[in-house]
C-alpha cells in the first residue's frame, strides 16, 4: 500500500515539531515537506503532498488553506482563530474544489474532545455553566479555540433544551471580571508559566456542582488525533469541524 504524502506547515513550532516527528514515525505516512514561516507554499505542490497539516498562526492559516484548496491538497488544521466569517470563506473555496477535504480540529486530544462532549450532554441539566481554560503564557489568542467551541456547544445544547438564562446578580464589575461572553456562556482564560493546555467546565445546580477537567500535559497528547485526521480527511470531502466526527462521537 502506498504511503500518504504529508506536509507540515508551522514545522518549527511547538505542536508543528511534534507533528513532524509523529508523521515521520507513522508507518503509513511519508513526510514530504516541513514548512516554516518564510518557505514558499509551492513546496506543497512540488513535493506532491496529498495532505497538509496546518499548525501555524491565526494570521497565516487562511492564506495557507486558500493555496491548499486551490491545489486539491487536503488539510488537517489545528490552528485557532476561527470565526463564522472565516468558516464561510473556507466553505466557499471548498465549493470550487469539491473533492478536497479540510478538517478543523479545535483540539486534537481525545480527552479534550470528550470534555466537550460531556459538557454538551451535562449543560441542560444545571442552572449555571462556566468555562475556564488555562494555557502556557506563549499562547497568542484568548480564549482558546477549544474553550470557544466548548462554550458554543454548551449554548447550543441549552438552547435546544429551552434552558432558562443562567442566574447572575452581578450589578457592577471590573471589565473582564466575568470573563468573555461566548453565546451567553462566561469563558475565563488563565495564562500561567508551567502549564500547557487545560480546561475546566464548571456546572452548578441546586446543592451540587459538577466539574469536568482535562489536562494536556505534553504535545504528544495531540498526535493520535493529528494522525487520525490525516488518515480520515482524504475520504471526507468538504469541511469537517471537530475531530469528534472522525471518532464517531459527532
Ligand atoms: N488543535 C489543537 O489540538 C492544538 C494544539 C496545540 C496548538 N494548537 C494551535 O496551533 C497553533 C500553533 O501553536 P504553537 O503553540 O505550535 O505555536 P508556535 O508559535 O510555537 O508555532 C507556530 C509556528 O508557525 C510558524 N508559522 C507562522 N506562519 C507560518 C506560515 N505562513 N507558514 C509556515 N509556518 C508559519 C511560526 O514561525 C511558528 O514556528 C496555535 O493556533 C495553537 O492554538 C492547536
Ligand atoms: O497551546 C495552544 O495554543 C493550544 N491551542 C488550542 C486551543 O486554542 O484550544 C488547543 C490546545 C492547545
Rg from Cα positions in the chain: 19
For 163-195, what is each residue's pLDDT tens digit?
A: 999 999 999 999 999 999 999 999 999 999 999
**Which whole number is the average pLDDT over 103-130?**
98
Query: Does the annotation count 3 as an active-site position?
Result: no
* Ligand 1 cavity residues, CB under 6 Å: 9-10, 12-16, 35-37, 55-57, 60, 64, 78-80, 105-108, 145, 222
What is the residue-averaged pLDDT of the chain? 97
Residue 95 and residue 75 in contact, taking contact as beta carbons nearer than 8 Å: no
pLDDT score for 248: 81
pLDDT score for 118: 98
Q: Is 219 exposed, middle or buried (0-12, 13-18, 19+ CB in 10 A)?
A: buried
pLDDT band of 201, cuts 50, 70, 90: very high
Relative to the CA of 135, which ligand 2 atom is closest? 1
Helix axes of 14-25 and 223-233: crossing angle, nearest 10 degrees: 60
Query: What single string gives the DSSP state of each residue in the chain?
Result: -PPEEEEEESTTSHHHHHHHHHHHH-TTEEEEEEE-TTS-THHHHHTT-SEEEE-S-TTTHHHHHHHHHHTT-EEEE------HHHHHHHHHHHHTSTT-EEEE-S---HHHHHHHHHHHHHGGGSSEEEEEEEE-TT--SSS-HHHHHHHHHHHHHHHHHTPPPPP----S--TTTT-EEETTEEEEEEE-TT--EEEEEEEEETTEEEEEEEEE-SGGGGHHHHHHHHHHHTT--EEEESGGGGTT--
- Cell numbers placing 84: 463564522
Q: Is 11 annotated as a binding residue?
A: yes
pLDDT band of 63, cuts 50, 70, 90: very high
Please tell me the pTM assigned to this model: 0.97
For 206-243, what is each residue's pLDDT tens digit?
A: 999 999 999 999 999 999 999 999 999 999 999 999 99
* Ligand 2 cavity residues, CB under 6 Å: 80, 106-107, 135, 139, 144-146, 197
**Which whole number is the average pLDDT over 125-151?**
98
Amino acid at each position: 500500500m502506498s504511503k500518504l504524502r504529508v506536509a507540515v506547515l508551522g514545522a518549527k513550532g511547538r505542536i508543528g515539531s511534534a507533528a513532524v516527528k509523529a508523521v515521520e514515525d507513522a508507518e503509513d505516512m511519508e513526510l514530504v515537506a516541513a514548512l516554516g514561516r518564510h518557505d514558499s507554499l509551492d513546496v506543497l505542490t512540488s513535493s506532491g503532498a496529498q495532505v497538509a497539516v496546518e499548525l501555524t498562526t491565526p494570521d497565516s492559516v487562511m492564506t495557507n488553506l486558500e493555496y491548499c484548496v486551490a491545489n486539491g491538497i487536503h488539510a488537517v488544521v489545528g490552528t485557532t482563530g476561527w470565526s463564522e466569517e472565516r468558516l464561510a470563506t473556507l466553505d466557499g473555496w471548498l465549493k470550487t474544489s469539491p473533492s478536497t477535504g479540510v478538517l478543523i480540529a479545535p483540539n486534537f486530544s481525545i480527552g479534550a474532545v470528550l470534555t466537550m462532549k460531556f459538557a454538551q450532554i451535562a449543560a441542560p441539566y444545571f442552572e449555571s455553566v462556566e468555562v475556564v481554560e488555562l494555557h502556557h503564557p506563549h499562547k497568542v489568542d484568548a480564549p482558546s479555540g477549544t474553550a470557544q467551541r466548548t462554550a458554543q456547544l454548551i449554548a447550543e445544547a441549552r438552547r435546544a433544551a429551552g434552558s432558562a438564562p443562567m442566574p447572575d446578580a452581578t450589578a457592577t464589575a471590573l471589565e473582564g471580571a466575568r470573563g468573555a461572553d461566548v453565546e451567553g456562556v462566561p469563558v475565563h482564560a488563565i495564562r500561567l508559566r508551567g502549564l500547557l493546555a487545560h480546561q475546566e467546565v464548571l456546572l452548578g445546580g441546586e446543592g451540587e456542582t459538577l466539574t469536568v477537567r482535562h489536562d494536556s500535559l505534553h504535545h504528544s497528547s495531540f498526535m493520535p488525533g493529528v494522525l487520525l485526521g490525516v488518515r480520515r480527511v482524504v475520504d471526507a470531502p468538504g469541511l469537517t469541524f471537530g475531530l469528534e466526527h472522525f471518532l464517531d462521537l459527532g
